[in-house]
Structure formats: structure tokens, C-alpha cells
Amino acid sequence: MNFYDGFIIPFVVGCAVLFTVVLYKYVRWFVRLPAADKRLVRRNFFSMQTLRGIGEVFSECLLHRRIFRVNPLLGYMHMSLAFGWFLLIVVGWIETIAYLGGRLVPIHGHVFFKYFSTSLPHHPVWGIDFSSVMDALLLFVLSGVLLAWFKRLRSRAMGLRRTTKHTLGDRVALSALWFVFPLRLLAESLTSAIFHNGGFLTGAIGDALAAAMPLRTLSTLESSAWWLYSCALGVFFVSMPFSRYMHIFTEVPLIFLRRWGIRSGEKPKSFDHFQLEACSRCGICIDPCQLQRDAGFNNVQSVYFIRDRRYNMLRPEVADNCLMCGRCEQRCPVGLDLNTLRLNSRSRLHDTPSDRRYDYTAGIDRSSGTGKTGYFAGCMTLLSPKILRAMERIFNASGEEVWWADREGGVCCGRPLKLAGETNAATRMMRYNEELFRRHGITTLVTSCPICLRVFREDYRLEGIEVLHHSEYILRLAKAGRLQIEPGEELFTYHDPCELGRGCGIYEEPRELIRCAGKLVEPAETREEALCCGSSVANTALNDLGQQRIARSVGASLGETGADAIVTACPLCKKAIARGTDRPVYDLAEVVERHLA
């Protein structure tokens, strides 16, 4: 049997380019992995994680389980394209084996089997009617293509208010992909019109075509159709490694590397490439972004940030314009560490040598009081004296002796600087505060600022010191009976600060405390889905008007609950939300203070 015809050339060339480029990229990224990451691979390669990775590859790369959770129709679209195409390839190979046994068949022989197998008898093998099975799979994929076309017109129906704006390369690849399957249907139907070897779909279309035109026209059209089909495949394969479709392959190594424990860090490294190129630019991150829906920015969302970084055209205006609230990360179907990637991009843009920075902090100690429990107000709390006073009364009411770290002014925790990308310099501030905490021998460190809390927990070396947010600390006092909170009738709603909720996973403690003091009603978007106040220190690009717009939108959303007052647990959120609502905004500590027995 002959497996050669002129039209296979575009396909074969496309395949060769695709596999060469992909292989080159993987080898390069893999070789450049830091030694520590390579050690992780060696240590965890033979472990349960690898098996779990295989399961994840199946459920995410093929079935797209996480996209189903965003929207079932969108999930179906991705699944039919990925899983359908995968099955077409696998069943195609089985088909060739069924017909030809163990004979070596070149790769294009499998893909264009319908064209080359016209001389074979057309009947089921192993009791399977392969033509119809392949037709059914083709129909499955075509339904996905139809949905993709539909999504361009009516994305809202598929759960996306806004879709990604694509680059030229993406458009070429996308167009080629859209044509691949309709052309396959056409080519196979035309072959079937001449040789009557089609299944229920290609056969039926083939018969209709055969009835409509003479044999000569059919064979001219057949040859053109196979050429077009092969060209579409070739174009798609060549553009694939340079476009969004690189994600098809890259998500697989990403899943395994992640399973083996490799993570992106505050400095860029080779593993980031796997994350960047595993982004399919599906655009699911666009809708949750408040910079898009409230402040009118349409080019800074994670999908665009990753695209810009991948093609080396990242500008500070894009890298810096992000609240790092984590709402997109929460939704990302590929599970990319979008905030960490953003952070290490900033570090590459802004980090400067900092050998002598903040030397002026040496020897400064403005702390006061003595006690095993330390309280770090944080810069923002110093501008919210109601929180400070509430904390003081709570400490007094519970009889706690407190060491006040920074009431008379201290050194910033370092997280704002780190979030801006100046990781080296931030470390110097962290070391100062660590040393301060140790010198005063505290065993518990309480802070009312979630920004400080997060950096204390993630970046400080505070062995032997328990770090608590004031919500955790006050609840603990209440449970131990050291604090009596009298219930009231007021109806509160609670705003989850990003750094406290998505950042530190603290959702329950503040709610439990609020329920001690009054009634609680949840806003529409809450907990993991909570909105950002808009004044996040992570964004150094957003202007005042943008912050106000977001605050008004958050204020409106919290106001819709009908609550008498808004409660939050972050001094910055409190200030920000107060600008966007007429209702009173309290910190959790103030609410507790007002209900102290």
C-alpha cells in the first residue's frame, strides 16, 4: 500500500517544525531549571505524585474539568476539541492497526488513512465499524468548533462577558484550527463519494455529493480538499509553538513539575516558562478583574500580562497595574500562580541592589510596654486610631500585658515593597523587624493588618513566635472566656480583605466574632470570591479615580445586603470602602470593642 501523495507535504513539514520547536523549548527550559528544582524532580519522579499527575493530565488537559465549573457549555467546547481530537488520533491509530496489523505506517498514513485506504475492503474489522466511529468522533469535535464560532458571536451565553483580544499569530492559528475539522469532513466525504467507504456521516454526505456532480468534478474537488486539509494542519502546527496553542503540550509537563513540588518564586526562573506557555489565553481571568469591570483597563489582566511577558514586550504600566487580589488566580483553569509570576516580573523590572538601603533603621527602637504578647499595628493602622484604641481596650479588658512594637512609629513590614518588586530591599526591612521582635522576647505577635500578617507568615523567620491576626487572637480570647462580647441587634455585612481571605485563608474567625456581636449577612461575592477594595498596595499604577470607582462598586455591592454597617478586618480596606459607601465602615476590633461587657 502506498502512503505517498503530494498533499501530505504541508502536514509533514508542519509536524517536523512543531516537534523540533517544542522539543527544543522543553530541553532548554528543563536544562536551565535551578539545581534545587532538578533535585525535586529526581526525588519525586518515582512517587504517587507522578500517578496523580497522570490523572490530572487526563482530567484537565483532555476533559477540562475546571472549565466545566466556570460554565458547562464552555467546558464542553474545550473538552470536545481536546478530548475529541485526542480520540480521533488514538482511534485512528487503532483503525490502521486493525486493518494493516503490525505493519509500520508513517504518521501521515494514520492521519490521512481514509484517503490511502480506498483499496481496502470496506467492512467492520474486529466487529467494529471504524468509519462510523471515526465519523462520530469527528462530529463530536465539530460540535466544539461550532461552539467556538458561536462564542465569538455570543460569549456571554458561555459565561464570558469579555473574551481575549488575540495577537496576529493567535488569529492565524485559530483560523487554521477552525478550518481543520470542516476540511477533514469535506475531504473524507469527497473520498467517500468516489469510493463509498464512509461512515454514517461522511458516507451520507458523500452519497449526496455523488448524486449532485459528475465523477470528474468529484475527483478534482477531492484532491483539492485533501490539499486544503493538509495545509490547514500544517499552518496550525507551524504556528502552534509560537501561539496560545503551545498550552496544549505545555500543560502536561507543567502538571508533573508542579506535582513534584516545583513552584515559581519571587525571582524569575526557568520553571516560569512552563507556566507562561501553559496559558491558553482562554480569558476566564478577564471577567473577575475589577480593573476591567470598574476602572476600564482592558490590557492589564493576567492573560495579557502573561502574553506580554512571554513575547518579551512587558511594560511596567502593565506589570504594575494589578491589585494582586487573586480573584483571577482563583478562577484560572490551568491553576497558574498568576500573582507570583506578576511579582517576579516586577522584581526583574524594579529590583535594585540594596546593600546599604535602610541602614538608617539600625539601632532604632521606639517600642513601648512589656509583655509576652506583641502588637504590631502596621503603617495603615496608625492612620486608623479607632482600631488602635479598640485593640488597647480589648487588651485591657482581657488583662493582657502587651508590648507595642510600632505605636510611636516603626519600620514597615516590607510587604508593600516586596509587592512592588523590590524584593532585595524588602528583605532588609524584614530582618530589622525580626530582630526587634526577638529582642523583646515575645511569644505571640498580633497584628490587625492582613498585609503585615501575610508577610510575617510567609517571609519572616519567626520560629517560636506565634503570628496571629487580631481576628484569630480576639476570638481566642473570647473562647477562653477572657473577653465577654454582648450580642446586639445590628445587622452587619463582612468584607473579606484579599490578603486575609485568599491570602491567608482566614474566613471563619472574623465571621464568628461578628456573629457574637450581631447578625451577619453575606454580600453576593464573598469568601474566595470576595471583591478587592481597590486600594491594594500591590498596585502602584492605578490612580485615585480608579481606586474610587472600585471602592464605589464594592460599597454598592456591600450595601445591597441591606446591612446597617460594613465590617472588615483590614485598615486599608476600611479606609478604601468608606470612600465608596454612605454606611458606617468598622474594623472588626471596633465592633468587638463596642460590644464588650
Partner 1 sequence: MIQWGYTINQPRAVNLDRNDLTAARRIIRQMPELQACIACGSCTATCTAGNLTQFNFRKVHTLVRRGEYEGAYEEMNKCMLCGKCRLVCPRGINTRGVVMLIKRELGEY
Partner 2 sequence: MSKKVIIVGGGVAGMQAALSLKGQGIDSVIVEKSDRLGGKLCDWHKLFPTFTPASEVLGPLKEAVERAGVEVRTGAEAERIAPDSVLLKSGERLSADAVVVCSGFDLFDARIKEEYGYGIYDNVYTTADIERMMNEGAVALPGGHAPRRIAFLHCVGSRDEKVGQRHCSRVCCITGVKQAMEMKTLFPQCEVYNFYMDIRMFGPGYEELYRQAQEEYNIHFVRGRISEASPTFDGRLQIKAEDTLVGRPLKMSVDMLVLIIGMRAGESNGRFAQCPGVGCASNGFLAPADLFSGSVLSPVEGVFYAGTVTAPKNVGESMSEGAYAALRVAEYLGARS
Q: Which residues bind partner 1 (CB under 8 A)?
A: 316, 320, 350, 352, 354, 357-358, 360-361, 364, 379-380, 382-383, 409-412, 414, 416-417, 420, 422, 425, 429, 537, 540-545, 572, 575
- Which is closer to partner 2, CB of 296 or CB of 409? 409
Contact 581, 507 (CB under 8 A): no
CA distances, 83 to each of 63, 301, 479, 493 (Å): 6, 28, 52, 44
Taking CB under 8 A as the rule, which mask of x and - marks residues 314-353 in contact with partner 2?
----------------------------------------
- Which is closer to partner 2, CB of 28 or CB of 389? 389
For residue 343, the minimal CB distance to partner 1 (Å) is 14
User: Which does residue 385 bind out of partner 2, partner 1, none, counting CB within 5 to 8 angstroms by kind?
Assistant: partner 2
User: Which does residue 302 bind out of partner 2, partner 1, none, counting CB within 5 to 8 angstroms by kind?
Assistant: none
For residue 577, the minimal CB distance to partner 2 (Å) is 13
Q: Rounded to an integer, what is the distance from CA 229 to the centroid of its chain?
A: 34
Segment 386-405, which members bind partner 2 (CB under 8 A)? 386, 389
Contact 405, 437 (CB under 8 A): yes
Give DSSP secondary structure letters for 286-353.
Answer: TTT-HHHHTT---S-SHHHHHHHHHTT---HHHHS------HHHHH-TT---HHHHHHHHHHHHH---
CA distances, 61 to each of 67, 81, 173, 257, 287 (Å): 11, 11, 19, 15, 22
User: Which does residue 139 bind out of partner 1, partner 2, none, counting CB within 5 to 8 angstroms by kind?
Assistant: none
Binding to partner 2 by residue 543, rule CB under 8 A? no
Size of the site for partner 2 (CB under 8 A): 11
For residue 585, the minimal CB distance to partner 1 (Å) is 14
Maximum pairwise Cα distance, the chain: 99
Q: Which residues pair with 485 in a beta bridge?
A: 596
Collect contacts of 25-30 with beta carbons under 8 A, ≥24 apart. 25/241, 25/273, 25/277, 26/253, 29/270, 29/271, 29/273, 29/274, 30/270
Q: Which of 55, 385, 441, 487 binds partner 2 (CB under 8 A)?
A: 385
- Which is closer to partner 2, CB of 196 or CB of 389? 389
Contact 595, 584 (CB under 8 A): no
Taking CB under 8 A as the rule, which mask of x and - marks residues 562-581 in contact with partner 2?
-------------x--xx--
Segment 296-315, which members bind partner 2 (CB under 8 A)? none
User: Which does residue 204 bind out of partner 2, partner 1, none, counting CB within 5 to 8 angstroms by kind?
Assistant: none
Binding to partner 2 by residue 544, rule CB under 8 A? yes
Q: Which of 382, 462, 491, 596 binds partner 2 (CB under 8 A)?
A: 382
| Helix, strand, or coil (residue 494) | strand
CA distances, 182 to each of 8, 134, 162 (Å): 18, 14, 27
- What does the binding site for partner 2 look like in residue numbers (CB under 8 A)? 382-386, 389, 407, 544, 575, 578-579
